[in-house]
Structure 1
Amino acid sequence: MSKAPLTSRLTIDSLIDAQVDFMQQWLHKQAEPLSMEAWRWFGAQPLSNYINCDHLQHLMKDWLLNQPMTEVMRTDIRDILHTIIYHPVNDNVPLSELVDDTQVQTLANYIGSHEQQRNVLIHTLVGNETFADLLTQTLYHAINDFMETTLDKAGGVGKLMKLGRSSFEKATNRNLDEKLQTYLHRNIKDLTRKAEANAQAHLSNQEVARLLIMGWDRIKDQPISELQTYLSDEPNNSSIDHIEAGIQQSYNRLRLSPYLHSLVSASIDTWYANHQSDTIATIAASLHINEEAMAQCSNTLLPIVYDAIETPWLTAHIRDMLEAFYAQPAVKEGLALNHD
């Protein structure tokens, strides 16, 4: 008995079911090579075919700069900073792991060879008024403590000296402590100014560089965790919270600044002028994204693609597409198939 023609045993619905199943299996098998072929095609396209300078300007300004950082992202930044700063590994890694000796040498030589920077450094170290005030108070307390201790142990002589001090204050209508502080303040400031002028006049470039390098040598072997001593980790007084809030304040002010927008526009114009004729692959290669990297990325994403192929929503879309195809009068008439 001869078999009936294939077309007489198929309906449009059963044909669609078979095609949906075939397409899903075919896509599952071909997902990896298709993704690489798509990358090769995309990589060969010139940037200017799809992206112009205005697109980049819109992306950077309207989407990035005009949008504040979300609270979720800010929380993540704070948590990550806390993890990095207070990680136990910092107890066993020296500061020299962060900064190489050659970098310090280069910076020291640069500062030492530039007069303005050198003078700023000397002023900070020697001529700083805050340092002079601190030294004044330190000397005052040391002298006052010495005098009080000496007078208490001097017996009658000490009482006589205290009487003389009282007489001096009554005669001059001035407190001796105040007089002493004024004298120290005036003279120490004068000494620090002279010391600063002398240092600026006589410290050579090599000596300034040597001082910086010596300072680095004293601290470079300390663990990175030493930096934690300058931070507070109290729940209501976290240094990390203050740092992140300060960065956010600066960021929010700058991102809306016409000044920053002007610089961003100029930077985008420069970049686009340099790369508008490049292919996508050439630009990607400058970021170390090549075919090997894309193959690794493709392998990582394949489980997602496989799951997507098998989802009900994709199955439904494929079915809708095929039903629309077979619903065309010319197709229905040509195939001579019917629904169940």
Structure 2
Amino acid sequence: MNGLIEAQVAFMQQWLSSQAEPLAMQAWQWFGAQSFSQYVSHEDLQHLMNDWLLSQPMSEMMRADIRDILHTIIYHPVNDDVPLSELIDDSQIDTLANYIGSHEQQRNILIHSLIGNDTFADLLTQTLHHAINDFMETTLDKAGGVGKLMKLGRSSFEKATNRNLDDKLQAYLHRNIKDLTRRAETNAQAHLSNEEVARLLITGWARIKDEPISQLQAYLSDEPDNNSIDLIEASVQHSYNRLRLSPYLQSLVTASVKTWYHQHQSDSFATLALGLNIDTQAMTALSTALLPLAHDAISSDFFTDHIREMLHAFYAQPDIKQSLTSGIS
């Protein structure tokens, strides 16, 4: 009996090895023809997204891989010889410029947010105030006796008016700068017409489009203690970890999964795969590439032991034993 089992094990391994590639393609054809919704429900997808993908942070291995790949892409020597226009062509810039130029209301809101808001005025006031103070202090220190006389005059002014000169200067700047920012906002909205905005974007792009992609490296740091890629990746991870369990993101995921499932519930697995450009030709190439792995798996001790165990269990069944005994007799 053991000899028979060993012969069957060898035959099965030889047969499976010779048929591995056509079997793989037949299995794919059968799988591709099956209806997606017959095996995967809307609830299954929701469970996959919420209880598995979003319930755990990205692994450290994957994070390290992302950082390494980004570093390779950004600092690859080929970037020295490839212009920015390889990433974005002129037609894209023209489309973007015309789109931005045609949205006057949104542009005015953006101008107000950048120029006309109080935060910008306060920031500009403080910057000018510090600059003037620094200039005055530096100038007076270098002016010798004249500087001392001017400081005395300042002190006398503050005593006479009961006002701090710094406070008065800051109030003056704040009042006038607010008016200045309002005028700047009005001028910007008046002069930045639809055509002018489009022209500025197009001419700005024309000035930089022939620069090598490696110029972007100037805005990044590759120092070990201040690595831009590490900081960006860590910031994205922080946002992801904060959002992935939030009711906000889960609501969006739930709605997105529902929309996607509704669109594709009548599709077969092959149709879904085709959306990822995976067709029969791609599967043929993949099965050919994986053929050595299939052969190694079929001839492995693990697979051999399982076949042998299965055959022993088969021949150990009472009815099989009886059939064999009857046949022999």
Question: TM-score scaled to structure 1, two decimals?
Answer: 0.81
Letter of the 2:179 counterpart: D
The residue number in structure 1 matching 2:24 is 35
The residue number in structure 1 matching 2:306 is 317
The residue number in structure 1 matching 2:86 is 97
1:251 counterpart = 2:236: no
1:48 pairs with one of 18, 37, 41:
37
1:172 counterpart = 2:157: yes
1:62 pairs with one of 46, 51, 59:
51
1:266 counterpart = 2:233: no
Rg larger for:
1
Kindly state the Cα deviation for residue 187 of structure 1 after the two structures are TM-superposed. Answer: 4.1
| 8 Å Cα contact 1:123-1:196 kept in structure 2 | yes
1:279 counterpart = 2:268: yes
The residue number in structure 1 matching 2:278 is 289
Alpha-carbon distance in 2 for matches of 1:227, 1:245? 20
Matches within 5 A, 1:145-164: none
Name the SS for the 2:309 alignment partner. helix
Deviation by residue 1:131-168 (Cα, 9 ceiling, x = unmatched): 845984798599879x88xx98xxxxx98x86884564
1:211 counterpart = 2:185: no
In the alignment, structure 2 segments of 5+ residues that lack a partner are none
Q: Compare 100-109 and 243-252 and name the one that shifted more.
A: 100-109
Structure 1 residues 162 and 183, CA, compared in 2 at 3 Å: closer, same or farther? Answer: farther
The residue number in structure 1 matching 2:230 is 241
Deviation by residue 1:73-129 (Cα, 9 ceiling, x = unmatched): 112222222222222222222222222222222222222222333124434665554
Alpha-carbon distance in 2 for matches of 1:137, 1:107? 39
1:78 counterpart = 2:67: yes
| 8 Å Cα contact 1:140-1:181 kept in structure 2 | no
Q: Compare 181-190 and 44-53 and name the one that shifted more.
A: 181-190
Question: TM-score scaled to structure 2, two decimals?
Answer: 0.84
Name the SS for the 2:290 alignment partner. helix
In the alignment, structure 1 segments of 5+ residues that lack a partner are 1-11, 153-157
Kindly state the Cα deviation for residue 329 of structure 1 after the two structures are TM-superposed. Answer: 2.8
The residue number in structure 1 matching 2:296 is 307
Structure 1 residues 265 and 166, CA, compared in 2 at 3 Å: closer, same or farther? Answer: closer
Kindly state the Cα deviation for residue 302 of structure 1 after the two structures are TM-superposed. Answer: 0.9
Alpha-carbon distance in 2 for matches of 1:271, 1:163? 77
Identity %: 62
| 8 Å Cα contact 1:136-1:185 kept in structure 2 | no
Kindly state the Cα deviation for residue 190 of structure 1 after the two structures are TM-superposed. Answer: 3.0
Structure 1 residues 175 and 49, CA, compared in 2 at 3 Å: closer, same or farther? Answer: closer
Count of aligned positions? 320
- RMSD of aligned Cα (Å): 3.2
